[in-house]
Structure formats: structure tokens, C-alpha cells
């Protein structure tokens, strides 16, 4: 089966903007919640910015290019010592990223309805159709990408956000032992992706949530 490079490039072009929005807002949400809780680390590092270049991670971009489903950015630095309640603070910071992605998925679904309506109303082959149709597909991709990133990050695999949430609910000693496996988390994610297990875990949930939104 031959590889359709033109189709691949078109797909990446439609996914690129939603992905940049998804990972940028995800990381800013982490940093901003940490800042509200008293941690100035992300702000001092210049990470409370919507400039995606400040957040991109080469491996995360590569993962996106290979899977066209998941990707990640450079983690925003957080210092839990600034929080009055470090365990509770880390849970709130961890939740903020996926929560932002789910909010973005809802926003993109509203835009899809509006722009999709304009695309349908535009005469076939007209200049307006050539503008509205790609934007509608981009909004649809925005729903899917944000749901994928939000759900992916909720997996309880260190160092994903889900592991921070689980660790915050565990006794300190158990949380420490659990997070010690962070060094192996990346390899586990790659293994799950290569074997197809990651897709089997995420795709059904993505489809259900996307169906509800659309």
C-alpha cells in the first residue's frame, strides 16, 4: 500500500493549528493555576505566554507527526514548596491542563457548528467555500485533538497529569514510591502506542465525547 504524501501533508496542516493551541493552553493552564496558588516559577521562566514556541517539545512534535493523535509540550516548571498544601496544590495544577483541553474541545465544537453552517451555505467551488470548508475541518480537528490530549494526559502513567492527580490522593510514602517510576513512563507510553494499546484505550472515549459535543 503506497503512502499518500499529499494527503498526509494536508492532514498535518489541518491538525497543526489545533495542536499548537491545545498544547500551549494546556501548559499555560498548569502554570497559571500554580501562579494563583503562590508559585511564581512558571512566570519567572517566561512560560505564562501563549507563544507556542516557548512550549514546544521536539519529542512531543515527533509523536504528533507519527501518531497524528497525541503530542505534548515542555512541562511547565512548578515548585510545590510555594503551595500552602503541596499535595492539594499539585492536584489542582495537574487537573488544570486536561480541564483546559476539554474546555477548548467545547469551544471548537461551537465554532465547528457556526463555520460548518457557513461552509454548507456557500456555493460549491466558490471562494467562500474554499475558505470556510478548511476552517470547519480545522475546528473539527480541534475537538478531536483536545479530547485526545486531555484524555491522554489523564492516564495514570508518570509523569502524565493523571499520575500527579493519583499521587496527590495517596499517602506521602506511597506517592513517592509511585512517582519514582517517572523515568520509565516515556518508554511505557511508546510501548503502548506501538502495540496499539494506547489507541484502544483512547479512541473509544474520544469518539463518545466527540459524539456528545457534535
What pLDDT digit, counting tens, does each position of 26-74 carry?
999 999 999 999 999 999 999 999 998 899 888 777 777 777 666 678 8
C-alpha cell at 55: 512550549
Q: Secondary structure of the chain: what % helix, strand, coil (to 5)?
A: 75, 0, 25
- Please state the separation of Cα 201 from the chain's center in Å: 16
Reduced to 3 states (helix: H, G, I; strand: E, B; else coil), residue 18 is helix
* Among 11, 27, 133, 182, the one annotated catalytic: 27
Confidence at residue 16, expressed as pLDDT on a 0 to 100 scale: 85
Of 71, 93, 98, nearest to 82 by C-alpha is: 93
Of 186, 113, 173, 180, the residue nearest 143 (C-alpha): 113
Q: Is 182 a catalytic residue?
A: no
CB 14 within 8 A of CB 138: yes
In degrees and rounded to multiples of 5, residue 50 shows phi and psi of -90, 10
Rounded average pLDDT over 152-179? 93
**Where residue 136 falls among pLDDT bands split at 50, 70, 90?**
very high
To which residue does cell 499555560 refer? 28
Please report how the helices 58-67 and 5-36 are oriented relative to each other, as an axis angle in degrees rounded to 10: 140
Give residue limits of the domains in the chain.
5-213
Q: Is 49 helix (H, G, I), strand (E, B) or coil?
A: coil
Pull the grid cell for residue 205. Answer: 472515549
How does pLDDT run across 110-122, given as a tens digit for each residue?
999 999 888 777 7
What's the pTM value of the predicted model, to 2 decimals?
0.90
Q: Can you give the pLDDT at residue 154? A: 96
Average pLDDT for 146-169: 94
Cell numbers representing residue 6 in the block: 499529499
Above 60 in pLDDT, residue 157? yes
* Distance separating alpha carbons of residues 21 and 50, to the nearest angstrom: 8
Amino acid at each position: 500500500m503506497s503512502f499518500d504524501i499529499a494527503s498526509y501533508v494536508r492532514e498535518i496542516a489541518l491538525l497543526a493549528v489545533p495542536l499548537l493551541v491545545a498544547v500551549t493552553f494546556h501548559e499555560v493552564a498548569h502554570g497559571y493555576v500554580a501562579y494563583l496558588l503562590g508559585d511564581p516559577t512558571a512566570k519567572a521562566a517566561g512560560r505564562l505566554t501563549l507563544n507556542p514556541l516557548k512550549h514546544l517539545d521536539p519529542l512531543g512534535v515527533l509523536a504528533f507527526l507519527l501518531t497524528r493523535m497525541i503530542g505534548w509540550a515542555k512541562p511547565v516548571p512548578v515548585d510545590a514548596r510555594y503551595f500552602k498544601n503541596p499535595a492539594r496544590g499539585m492536584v489542582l495544577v495537574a487537573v488544570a491542563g486536561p480541564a483546559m483541553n476539554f474546555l477548548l474541545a467545547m469551544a471548537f465544537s461551537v465554532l465547528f457548528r457556526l463555520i460548518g453552517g457557513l461552509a454548507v451555505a456557500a456555493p460549491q467551488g466558490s471562494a467562500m467555500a474554499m475558505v470556510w470548508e478548511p476552517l470547519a475541518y480545522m475546528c473539527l480537528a480541534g475537538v478531536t485533538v483536545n479530547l485526545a490530549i486531555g484524555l491522554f494526559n489523564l492516564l495514570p502513567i508518570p509523569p502524565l497529569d493523571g499520575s500527579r492527580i493519583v499521587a496527590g490522593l495517596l499517602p506521602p510514602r506511597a506517592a513517592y514510591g509511585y512517582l519514582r517510576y517517572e523515568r520509565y513512563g516515556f518508554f511505557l507510553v511508546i510501548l503502548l502506542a506501538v502495540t496499539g494499546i494506547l489507541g484502544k484505550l483512547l479512541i473509544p472515549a474520544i469518539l463518545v465525547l466527540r459524539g456528545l459535543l457534535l
